[in-house]
Structure 1
Amino acid sequence: MSRIPRPPTTTRATVCTAVVLTVALAACSAPGDSSSDSKASSGPIKIAVVDAQSGQLSSLGDWEYKGAKLAVDEWNKKGGIDGRKIQLKLFDDQGDPTAGTNIARKLASEKYVAMLGTAESAVTIAMAPVLQQAKIPNITSGQSDGLVALKSPYLFLNGPTSTTYDSTLAQYLIKDKGYKKIAMITNNGSFGTGEHDAFLKAAKGLGVSPSTDQVVTTDQKDFSAALTKIRSKKPQVVFIGSEEVEAGLIVKQARDLGITAPFAGAAPQGTPVFIDTAGKAAVEGTIVSSPYLSNDASDASKKFAAAYKAAYGKDAELHGAKAYDGANILLTALKTSKAATGQDLADAIRATAYKGLLGDFAYDDTGVGITKTTIGVISDGKLVAQQ
């Protein structure tokens, strides 16, 4: 008896083919698509703060972490991002580029959404290639123009570059004050080199070349040789480009050698660490270029300073304010992008217009969002606006 043909059925092979095709199509989604790869829909949003918590630059890391944490705590009290809590974890880079690079790899493997920090340009520059490859947006407190030179679409600055700081300062010293005899002392690290090059270019553009240009190392403690050469030139002002502690030691030793000319510089010279290291009398009259001169500059800065004081029992300053702005920009971008990650989050940061403590942020393709500083002077141990 002949067998009656059975109706066709879906074979195991056909099902497998369909599954494979579906997976393949999903894997071929265009970069930046709002797919499961660009958004995590549940659980805490993991953000890292990476800064020195030990060593000579630990004060920078402490200020930055406090500013970032204050912003995150405020957002979490209001429900986080669409009901999801923001999880902030602190990593100590020790001010060391190698340690920073190892942390960057850890952030990639542990699926951090974004990174805040570092406050040290050299460390951020070392970390940037790993973060770019992992598509982790990074908002840094560094100011070296070397950060911009990386041209990473995932790297953003929460303050001006050295060019902005130092062109504003050179304009004030040369045009407003009429100084022609300017000495320079900077260190050979990423920050110091950036400050050296930016100020030198700005001064020469205004027709003034330094009477002497001294470069020291980042770990140097005795500056008598460089300062003796500066003293011999009898400068009207001394430009200093180094971090807080070293800058303070330079000024202290300069006064001991009889150098009476005022010093001038950027962000580090406006901090309590610089003032305390050099001594109140030694820093009197120091001229500072900064986007955040005082906690009393505006209603917003007063509110921030009061919240900072209540949370930590300490007075806020520039670096904490920068980190607070940077964290709020990141969190705003996460909110508007529905907690996007990778390229989508980087695009959302770049599209975020934010009125911050340092000014009005609007990011360009280089990752720079603010391009203005003002001039202040240290008077009686405090940085005040120049009248």
Structure 2
Amino acid sequence: MTRSSTPRPPTTTRAAVCAAAVLAAALTACGAPGESADNTGASSGPIKVAVVNAQSGQLSSLGDWEYKGARLAVDEWNKKGGIDGRTVQLKLFDDQGDPTTGTNIARRLVSEKYVAMIGTAESAVTIAMGPVLQQAKIPNITSGQSDGLVALKSPYLFLNGPTSTTYDTTLAQHLVTDKGYRKIAMITNNGSFGKGEHDAFLTSVKGLGVTPATDQVVTTDQKEFSAALTKIRSTKPEVIFIGSEEVEAGLIVKQARDLGITAPFAGAAPQGTPVFIDTAGKEAAEGTIVSSPYLSNDVSDASKKFAAAYLAAYGEEAEMHGAKAYDGANILLSALETSKGAVGEELADAIRATRYQGLLGDFRFDGTGVGITRTTIGVIRDGKLVPQQ
């Protein structure tokens, strides 16, 4: 008897179809989070946006500043009615500065249907999360600056600040061309951020005809730097480039001064933060040269307004990382508004099309996800980062 010779009762057919649908749903639910293809979001109710940053460990200060900057922007939008009447729901996740933890959080964002992510400030964590977010089509606006972020070539990854190449090209130009330094020493760490800084600065100074007198590389968890600093001291450098995060950079500078090294240090974003200055000590940090897109809260009317709102909300002074996250959140929210609450590829396209005059500069995203390509030079004077005179 053939399968078509005796028709199956309609109730049986319906039952089979229902069973198949239930089985398919179960299989989908059991799949590994982040492995499914799309994140459809919802067309009504709160818009779920995640902030992922370290809230514990050595990089927790970055995460704290970033969350407060993003929170400030979201609160301002919600007070004005949110996105087309929908409240923006912001939730904070602690990645602990750890790529594995970050990857697990990325899978959670997929399963819980977050439409976008702000963060992280740690390039290595963002790079680890990137493939999961890309597959799920969740746009990510990061404060990382490693050129490794661009190397991911994800159409869902956007930088709310310049890359290491921009920071360090500007810095190298200032040190070699403007200041006339030829004897330059380098000390960087072997993490994602440090490697990015090392490669970008080395390429930049060599392009200007200068080969560093010494190139010291330390580990990310190192606390004692006498061996590397002794080698640096022996070269009698005119300036020392430092490529490491806030706390480690501060320890390096403090120990360098204890060893009698008087040459100024120079670096990028971490060297402009209160954590760096507090760790190094006000006197040791004096004269540090910094390449940054945001030198102070007094550079424009917009920065003064932001700083006043930040102080009112949190009782503390704003700095660059909070400003970056504030810009990034405003770009995301602007894109959500213009796209009528779109998700996935449509939201990513809306972010890419957004033109935004921010605290850090005039954002115009290119095909790599980079929005601004300019920094300026500042210097630490009396415990504060101020514009270079």
- Same fold flag (TM > 0.5): yes
1:49-81 deviations in Å (ceiling 9; x for gaps): 000000000000000000000000000000000
> In structure 2, what is the Cα distance between the partners aligned to 1:326 and 1:332?
10
Match of 1:229 in 2: 231
Which protein is bigger by CA-based radius of gyration? 1
| CA–CA separation in structure 1 for the residues paired with 2:172 and 2:327 | 26
List structure 1 segments (4+ residues) > 6 angstroms apart after TM superposition. none
Unaligned runs of 5+ in 1: 1-10, 24-35
Separation (CA, whole Å) in 2 of partners of 1:351 and 1:53: 32
Cα separation, 2, equivalents of 1:135 and 1:300: 33
Please give the alpha-carbon distance, in whole angstroms, between the structure 2 residues aligned to 1:366 and 1:92: 27
- Residue 167 (structure 2) aligns with: 165
- In 2, Cα distance between equivalents of 1:354 and 1:127: 26
In structure 1, give the amino acid aligned to 2:242: I
- 1:266 paired to 2:245: no
State the secondary structure of the residue aligned to 1:88: strand
Q: Does 1:336 align with 2:338?
A: yes
Aligned length: 360
Alpha-carbon distance, 1:41 to partner: 1.6
Counterpart for residue 377 of structure 1:
379
Identity %: 84
Q: 1:152: Cα distance to partner? A: 0.4
Unaligned runs of 5+ in 2: 1-8, 22-37
Q: What amino acid is aligned across from residue 243 of structure 1 in structure 2?
A: E
Deviations 1:335-355, CA, capped at 9 Å, x for gaps: 000000000000000000000
Which of these residues, 174, 180, 185, is aligned with residue 187 of structure 2? 185
Paired residue type of 1:230 = I
Residue 345 of structure 1: SS of its match in structure 2? helix
1:73 maps to 75
Distance in 2 separating the partners of 1:251 and 1:38: 49
287 and 37 in structure 1: CA distance in 2 versus 1, 3 angstrom threshold: closer
Contact 2:39 2:113 in 1 (8 A): no
- 1:44–1:87: 8 Å Cα contact kept in structure 2? yes
* Counterpart in the other structure of 2:327: 325
Q: Secondary structure at the match of 2:302?
A: helix
8 Å CA contact 1:40–1:340 kept in 2: the answer is no
Q: Which residue of 1 aligns with 2:64?
A: 62
Q: Which amino acid aligns with 1:340?
A: A
Structure 1 residues 129-144: aligned runs within 5 Å? 129-144=131-146
Does residue 1:362 correspond to 2:364, yes or no? Answer: yes
SS in 2 for 1:164: helix
Deviation of 1:40 after TM superposition, in Å, equals 2.3
Query: Within 2, Cα distance between the matches of 1:346 and 1:133?
Result: 13
3-state DSSP class of the match of 1:311? Answer: helix
Go from structure 1 to structure 2 and tell me whether the alpha carbon gap of 1:51 and 1:277 turns closer, same or farther (over 3 Å shift). same
Q: Return the TM-score normalized by structure 2.
A: 0.90
* Cα distance per residue 1:307-326 (max 9 Å; x no partner): 00000000000000000000
